[in-house]
């Protein structure tokens, strides 16, 4: 076991969440050593039926965000299931749920009741719009949250979208961070708490710089006109003569100076501070890059220390020298790829996640189990 995989050893987590945000939060806790029991209703997590299939027929999406956990089926709508669940809560450190507000209370397992059973319980509600507010009961998914948060990126040709769920991933990350902080706070105060996180809210901290610009100037820069969204020649995406793309991010003067020297255009150096959008300068750089192949660009600008990089497809990124050297994307024998917790501790990467441990995942009856955990 690596040191990272032992940080939360002894912490017990009940994961009642579905799809991506909550399971991701619980996955990160499991990566740090927590024991995670995933509780599913008799019909199972809907993620089981989504996405590409592995060789064994299971959803690759489901297994990827639930690796290292143990699943158990409990029907909270039936008294025996609810009793079994309440028994688990007695020795649980963290509970994560993703239902709309009041659903858990209607099932008889809301925060107030569980806090009486276990005052040290950290109860995390992670849903679309939080437990309060005018949209709290509304249904939505990642695309809706990102659009409502003012962060929807430009839509590609034919209406194509990025397949990285921004709000879902941010929500999972902030939930895991809040839970770790709450565990630390509980160690001092001796009591748990209720964490209320909304996925739409999780997008806002990611926009800290656009929000700073909005506050200072009264308006955010339109796409293609701001420093970081395409309006600056030094921070832009360019196309090569062989149809590849490269990125230049020479924001600091020293990097821009190095780029201009490598490009053989010292006259560009004084133009970095010109008003945005820098359409004329961007056009000149566009013309230069379109006369070079990707290989020629890498030979010229790669060694120049000017914040230059090619645009890689995901399959290329996984096989890159950097990713392979860090050991943070694990390829299993069956080809499954695991992006591990992105931190080395004292130079040691985390261990690959164990496989999902299924405990009667589709059964209709709940079965009692005696669990004990160390207290944090």
Catalytic residues: 168
What six digits make up the tokens of 118? Answer: 């276990």
- The whole-angstrom separation of Cα 82 and Cα 7 is 31
Put residue 144 in one of left, alpha, beta given phi > 0 → left and psi -120 to 50 → alpha: alpha
**At CA 225, angle to CA 223 and CA 228, rounded to 5?**
80
Exposed, middle or buried by CB within 10 Å (0-12, 13-18, 19+), for 308? buried
What six digits make up the tokens of 193? Answer: 């708490």
Least Cα distance to 81 among 109, 50, 115, 123 occurs for 109
**316 in Cβ contact with 309 (< 8 Å):** no
- The whole-angstrom separation of Cα 372 and Cα 93 is 10
């Amino acid at each position: 076991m690596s040191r990272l995989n032992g940080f939360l050893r002894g912490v017990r987590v009940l994961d009642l969440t579905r799809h991506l945000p909550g399971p991701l939060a619980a996955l990160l806790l499991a990566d740090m050593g927590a024991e995670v029991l995933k509780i599913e209703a008799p019909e199972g997590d809907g993620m089981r039926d989504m996405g590409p299939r592995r060789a064994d027929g299971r959803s690759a999406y489901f297994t990827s965000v639930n690796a290292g956990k143990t699943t158990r089926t409990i029907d909270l709508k039936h008294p025996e299931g609810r009793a079994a669940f309440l028994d688990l809560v007695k020795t649980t450190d963290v509970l994560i749920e993703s239902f709309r507000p009041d659903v858990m209370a209607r099932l008889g397992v809301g925060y107030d009741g569980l806090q009486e059973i276990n005052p040290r319980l950290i109860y995390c509600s992670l849903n679309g719009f939080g437990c309060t507010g005018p949209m709290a009961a509304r249904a939505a998914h990642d695309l809706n949250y990102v659009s409502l948060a003012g962060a929807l990126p430009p839509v590609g040709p034919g209406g194509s979208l990025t397949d990285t769920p921004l709000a879902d991933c941010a929500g999972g990350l902030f939930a895991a961070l809040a839970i770790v902080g709450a565990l630390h706070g509980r160690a001092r105060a001796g009591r748990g708490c209720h964490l209320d996180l909304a996925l739409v809210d999780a997008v806002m901290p990611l926009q800290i710089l656009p929000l700073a610009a909005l506050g200072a100037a009264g308006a955010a820069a339109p796409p293609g006109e701001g420093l970081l969204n395409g309006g600056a020649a030094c921070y832009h995406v360019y196309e090569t003569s062989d149809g590849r793309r490269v990125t230049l991010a020479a924001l600091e003067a020293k990097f821009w100076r190095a780029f201009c020297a490598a490009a053989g255009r010292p006259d560009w150096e004084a133009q970095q501070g010109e008003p945005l959008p820098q359409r004329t300068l961007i056009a000149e750089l566009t013309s230069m890059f379109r006369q070079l192949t990707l290989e020629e660009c890498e030979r010229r600008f790669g060694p120049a220390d000017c914040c230059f990089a090619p645009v890689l497809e995901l399959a290329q990124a996984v096989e890159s020298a950097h990713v392979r050297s860090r050991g943070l994307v694990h390829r299993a024998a069956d080809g499954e790829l695991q992006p591990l917790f992105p931190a080395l501790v004292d130079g040691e990467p985390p261990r690959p996640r164990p496989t999902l441990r299924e405990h009667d995942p589709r059964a209709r009856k709940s079965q009692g189990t005696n669990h004990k955990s160390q207290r944090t």
